[in-house]
Structure 1
Amino acid sequence: MYLTQSLHRAVQQGPDQVATVFGDRVRTNRDVAGRVARLAGALRALGVEVGDRVALLAHNSDVFHEYMYAVWWVGGAVNPVNTRWSVKEMAYSLGESDTRVLLVDDAFAPLVAQLRELWDGLDAVVYCGSGPVPEGMAGYEELIAGHEPVEDLRLGGDRLAGLFYTGGTTGFPKGVMLSHANILASAHSLIVSVQSSVRGGRAMHCAPMFHLAALASWCGQTLVGGSHLFMPGFEPGAVLKAIGERRPTSTMLVPAMIQLLVDHPSVGDHDLSSVERFSYGASPISETLLTRAMTVFPRAEFAQGYGMTEMAPGVAALAPEDHRDPPLLRAAGRAIAGVDVRVVDPGDVEVPRGTVGEVVARGANMMLGYWNKPEETADALRGGWMHTGDAGYMDEDGYLYIVDRLKDMIVTGGENVYSAEVENALATHPAIASSAVIGVPDPTWGERVHAVIVLKPGHTTTPDDIRAHCKTLIAGYKAPRTCDFVDTMPLSPAGKILKRDLRKPHWNTTTRSVG
């Protein structure tokens, strides 16, 4: 199993069929394969060898399609950088993974000087934007035009295909190592379980491609054939217009994005009948929102995916038929094909149905491990199962329900935020004595980052000042959107802050304890 096989198959079976659409740029399978082979030659000339990591820091475009194939073509591993991180976080991931080649677009080219200061190991930076090539960088199109095509090494199986950085409970991102087999196994399972991609259809990518959920959507469409419509990001009006004009058949969104689509004032001005599949994740969908979405997108079927980067990312899914049974809308779904899911106690013994415990999973899509973190890998994969850190229960029919997060992770607008990371940033503020960060319900983002703060005697500050301070250290989406100032924290006998007590006032009117 190797990830470039889908491109060879596409050229064999439909060389002149459309492969990618980005703005006014349309390329066929034959075009893409030729460009990929030349880009692979350029990467080799830049020193990329088998196993080397190649990073891309860019908004969504057809470059993602070519970049991933080209890196795998020469036996390398992709390392897509989270575009919402701070420069320090970006540089950390590049340095920690010993990434030597970086591709950047117009939006992120201005950050290269800072990145080089923080990580001096960058041997080459490739500019894949639309303007003049900045000094000290190589031009993407010039590299493709100036190099001869090379043969695909067709490496795959358990070889490293990519490093995908996820938040860490210690405040440092962890590089999740996924093989070709991991990514393909997850995509196959989702296709079998919920028909996530339309055969011969067109997948629209507006969620950021550095996320595994978006990459899984891309991979699924490559496997069943068809084309890809790349949107630079999610802007509701632009997405609605693109659906009406470009006729995608499937897309992957988070419920907050679906809400913004159905609420948009121009929603009735576009023909949205082309969409047949809506995959969503990060949080369940409400019955009210589902009903509205089904009216706006009359041909669409909805499927929820529950997973994590470490599972490439599939664990469970709520199939389209499940969405016609309102009580099941609170469920994360049932184990996808090829994946075992259990709920266990602290001793890793499976608990009775209906009993809350930790959700664990295993399958061919389970990660190789965390980059350069053998102890954390051993802990996460103990007993041969991926320990998700999520607390949940399973009913008698095998439906999984997530009720809390053991690792205090907040999911806001589809982004994972670990409270410890935000608390570390808050601790550097001169006015703050102590803090606790929790997720609270938010009608737009599912959850928002909320800080509970005890100030030092004689000090004052404001929520805006705290947010601005945090944004100098961590990504903006991780900075607290709201704050409460309190005199004391609720503490356990052991002196630990009782976050469940802090959450209770915010969640006591909902049926779930997490978003």
Structure 2
Amino acid sequence: MDDRMADYLAVLENSAAETPDHPALIDEGGTVGYRDMMTEVGRRADVLVRAGMVPRQRVALVAENSARFLISALAVWKAGGALVTIYPSSAKDDLSYSIASADPALVLVDRVSAPAVADALTDHRPTAMIDGEDFTVNSVRADTAPSPDHVRARLRLITYSSGTTNRPKAIMVSDVALLNGAETFTSVWHLGREDRTVVALPMAWLFGLASTSMATLYAGGTVIALRRSRPQMILDAIADHRGTFLGGVTTMFTKLVRHLDTTVDKPDMSSLRLCVSGGEARNDAAFDRWASHTSVSVLDNYCATECFPLVTYDPTVDPTPVRGAAGTVVPTNEFRVVDDEGREVERGMVGEAQGRGPGLMLGYWDDPTTTAEAMVDGWYRMRDLVRVDERGYVHVVGRLSDMIIRGGSNISPAEVERVLHCHASVRAVAVVGLPDEIYGQKVVAAVVLADGAALDADALGTFAAEQLASFKVPTEYVVLDALPQNTTSGKVDRRAVTALLAAPSARS
């Protein structure tokens, strides 16, 4: 079985030879050039091997974004191991579960995550610091479960879904998928040596690790690693380091817009050329405001960790996104839309999205049942309702699991949210279904008002009714100071919104 991760590392080694002093990584500790980065990657890989690590062993990494996060990840791969990324913000139970289920030979931590990891460990498992004065590994466990050898490609990454009420799923990603992701994003987004990518997305998430960081390094560019996604930190990084590429979730861009709307001295963001959002439905009103501040549109990246890349924009073809569309299908991967019987639907018809290609996951770690449920005939079920228009642009209608059923009719929360986002009084909104004695469920909108705005439910209802069928118009509007967010990904936590609105005090 060929090792495509060796091919990825060879590209980075080539950059180290051709442009040794070109900045590869920037964080609060300073700048690391390509030569120094790859030298340290090699040194850390040697430390791992000398400590007893053997190829195919799994090494967990629980740490915040930093240059040493990426250097340590690359070192695990150079030593032949499979990396397990775990969100440092995970609750104790999820952290314990993730470490125990992945059964790594070693757990790498930083100063911030070390106490939580020590508290979460349920057995003796070696740990090592990635940000100490020196990278030292005393030992690794030799009695861990073997990595699967019956898969079609080499396991190189296990990354966890962010989780909500259920346990996070451990997604197995191959070396083929990682290399294909780097190649595809570099090509479609036209990344190059001059690009400087601001990464505030958690590197424990594939969007922060592979789609942005790994693709930028593959292109010979510079990764600017931020530990937090706070608006001022992001804006300062763009201005101070002349950032060209910013990836994020919709919520992050919405917060940035609010910050810019209230900032007198605007930062210099003239270096930006590419902004990409993924993981959440679009907020076109907020994105329009972002474009007015930066002169750069927010494009989409629609995929899943289980199958990536899938749908995005080429900024040279579409510098401005098609309204309501996530983009077009990328080269190398396949995409289809099917009905309830698994038959492909005609263009323009709504159905379930499915994808396959080099970026298809190897499955869920030690969970064949869930793997089988997620796949059909070699295709990954995205569990999203989409339609593809005549020009090939993919429009995401909503999540199957979020669907509101009112009087037997299906209502996509995302569709209703897209409309309400366009009202001048609304800064952010989340739509959920709550129990209704007559219709089964009613449509309720949790609204964060724009600065200085007051709730006018009648005006919002009239505005929504002009663009939606009457049964889709919310019957209630509840004002919140902020929408609950998933602590790991930063996305709106729809289940938490539902629980909040279901409380008797929420609508009293």
Q: The TM-score by the shorter chain falls in which range? A: 0.7 to 0.9
2:276 is aligned with 1:274: no
Residue 476 of structure 1 deviates from its aligned partner by 11
> Percent identity of the aligned residues?
28
The equivalences for 1:452-463 within 5 A come to none
Aligned counterpart, 1:290: 287
Aligned counterpart, 1:128: 130
Aligned counterpart, 1:209: 203
Contact 1:198 1:250 in 2 (8 A): no
Aligned counterpart, 2:227: 232
Residue 144 of structure 1 deviates from its aligned partner by 8.7
Q: 1:476 to 1:92 in 2, by over 3 A?
A: farther
Give SS of 1:359's match.
Answer: strand
Residue 98 of structure 1 deviates from its aligned partner by 0.8
Whole-Å separation in 1 of the counterparts to 2:253 and 2:396: 21
Whole-Å separation in 2 of the counterparts to 1:40 and 1:444: 47
Whole-Å separation in 2 of the counterparts to 1:388 and 1:199: 33
Residue 237 of structure 1 deviates from its aligned partner by 1.0
- Deviation string 1:484-511 (CA, Å, 9 cap, x unpaired) is 247xxxxxxxxxxxxxxxxxx9xxxxxx
Give SS of 1:141's match.
Answer: coil
Contact 1:318 1:331 in 2 (8 A): no
Contact 1:284 1:331 in 2 (8 A): no
Give SS of 1:55's match.
Answer: strand
Residue 253 of structure 1 deviates from its aligned partner by 1.2
Aligned counterpart, 1:173: 168
Give SS of 1:71's match.
Answer: helix
Contact 1:284 1:304 in 2 (8 A): no
Q: 1:31 to 1:449 in 2, by over 3 A?
A: farther
- Deviation string 1:300-347 (CA, Å, 9 cap, x unpaired) is 354210010101x32111343676667x22112211111111101233
State the AA in 2 paired with 1:127: M
1:396 to 390, 394, 412: 390
Aligned counterpart, 1:34: 39
Aligned counterpart, 1:480: 496
Aligned counterpart, 1:188: 183
Whole-Å separation in 1 of the counterparts to 2:286 and 2:315: 15
Contact 1:201 1:227 in 2 (8 A): yes
Q: 1:20 to 1:325 in 2, by over 3 A?
A: closer
Q: Can you give the 5+ residue segments of structure 1 that lack an aligned partner in the other structure?
A: 130-138, 146-156, 411-437, 455-463, 487-504, 506-515
Residue 225 of structure 1 deviates from its aligned partner by 0.6
Contact 1:200 1:224 in 2 (8 A): no
2:136 to 124, 143, 153: 143
Give SS of 1:320's match.
Answer: coil
- Deviation string 1:248-307 (CA, Å, 9 cap, x unpaired) is 111211222222223224474321111111111123444433332223223x35421001
Residue 35 of structure 1 deviates from its aligned partner by 1.1
Whole-Å separation in 2 of the counterparts to 1:205 and 1:244: 14
Whole-Å separation in 2 of the counterparts to 1:339 and 1:30: 33
Aligned counterpart, 1:405: 399
State the AA in 1 paired with 2:398: D
Contact 2:59 2:81 in 1 (8 A): yes
Q: 1:92 to 1:450 in 2, by over 3 A?
A: farther
State the AA in 2 paired with 1:345: D
Contact 2:328 2:393 in 1 (8 A): yes
Aligned counterpart, 1:241: 236
Whole-Å separation in 2 of the counterparts to 1:199 and 1:398: 31
Residue 239 of structure 1 deviates from its aligned partner by 1.4
Whole-Å separation in 1 of the counterparts to 2:428 and 2:103: 34
Contact 1:302 1:323 in 2 (8 A): no
Residue 448 of structure 1 deviates from its aligned partner by 7.8
RMSD: 3.4
2:94 is aligned with 1:89: yes
Whole-Å separation in 1 of the counterparts to 2:244 and 2:129: 31
- Deviation string 1:112-139 (CA, Å, 9 cap, x unpaired) is 33212xx3152x111234xxxxxxxxx4
- Deviation string 1:24-80 (CA, Å, 9 cap, x unpaired) is 421111111121111112222333221111111111111121011100011111111
Q: 1:63 to 1:203 in 2, by over 3 A?
A: same
TM-score by length of 2: 0.74
